[in-house]
Amino acid sequence: MVQKIIVPIVAVLIFLVFWELLVWINGWPNYKMASPSDLWPAFWKFRELFFVMGWDTLWRTVVGLMLAVVVGVAFGMIMGFSRIMRDALYPLLVGFNAIPKATVVPIVALMFVGAHDFNTILIAFMISFFPIAVSVSIGLSTLEPEYRDILRSLGASRMTIFWKIALPKTLPEFFGALKVAVTLAFIGTNLMEIVSPHGKGLGALFDSGKTSSDYPLMFAVLIALGFLGIFLYYIVVALEKTFASWAERESQ
């Protein structure tokens, strides 16, 4: 337990030291490349904005991610239990996911003018539900048919098979996809906040720093986004240990 806490902290510190040395060796001014020592003054100067806008980014990302989980699991179940639906839906999902979301953001912003929270949540959802749907689909479609046949011969319904066998089997794949979806959701939220600025979220703060050429503020926003992503990632890790710790033990 101690190792899992200390090792990531040491890794982050090494990264920050390397970053500081890189800027110092090259003699870059902070209007070209901010160093870690430039970030704390920026955090402190705009600390109230970081708290307020960081919360705006966090809650909208979490809501979008929760929607992605619900819709992704639903699509995964449909594709996992039905080969016809998998053949029909998979190309559509792949094609939709291949569209750069930066091009979708202006369209969504124009479709729902003024609905800033809805727009941001929608983009966070759209960019993060695909890996969840695919992981659940693969987990269910690879379920051994012997299990289904035995349970059906014993009178088990399709829903019982899902809860007793299919769902536990897909949990490792689900949590693996959820770890990816967490970072993607933050990307979606930040895209909407930057491309369609409305004065909310860390993306708006980043855009403000860009407008005023405040590089330390811009890099401070990036670091804040990184820490929020790490925070949600470790929440997912904690949930994984609670509900799917058996998978980790089996892999050791």
Q: What's this model's pTM, rounded to 2 decimal places? A: 0.84
Give the pLDDT confidence of 41-67 residue by residue, as tens digits. Answer: 888 888 899 999 999 999 999 999 999
Q: How confident is the model at residue 209 (pLDDT cuts 50, 70, 90)?
A: confident
Q: For residue 11, is pLDDT > 70?
A: yes
Domains and CATH numbers, the chain: 40-244 (1.10.3720.10)
The whole-angstrom separation of Cα 115 and Cα 129 is 21
- Supply angle C-alpha 186, 237, 248, rounded to 5: 140
Give the pLDDT confidence of 153-167 residue by residue, as tens digits. Answer: 767 666 676 777 777
pLDDT at 62 (0 to 100): 94
| Residue length of the chain | 252
pLDDT at 248 (0 to 100): 59
Above pLDDT 70, what percent of the chain? 88
pLDDT at 204 (0 to 100): 87
pLDDT at 63 (0 to 100): 95
**For residue 250, what are the CA distances in angstroms to 20, 168, 172, 244, 247?**
41, 14, 11, 11, 5
Burial class (CB in 10 A: 0-12, 13-18, 19+), 149: exposed
Q: How confident is the model at residue 145 (pLDDT cuts 50, 70, 90)?
A: low
Q: For residue 125, is pLDDT > 90?
A: yes
Give the pLDDT confidence of 15-44 residue by residue, as tens digits. Answer: 889 988 988 888 888 777 888 888 888 888
Which carries the bigger pLDDT value, residue 113 or residue 161?
A: 113
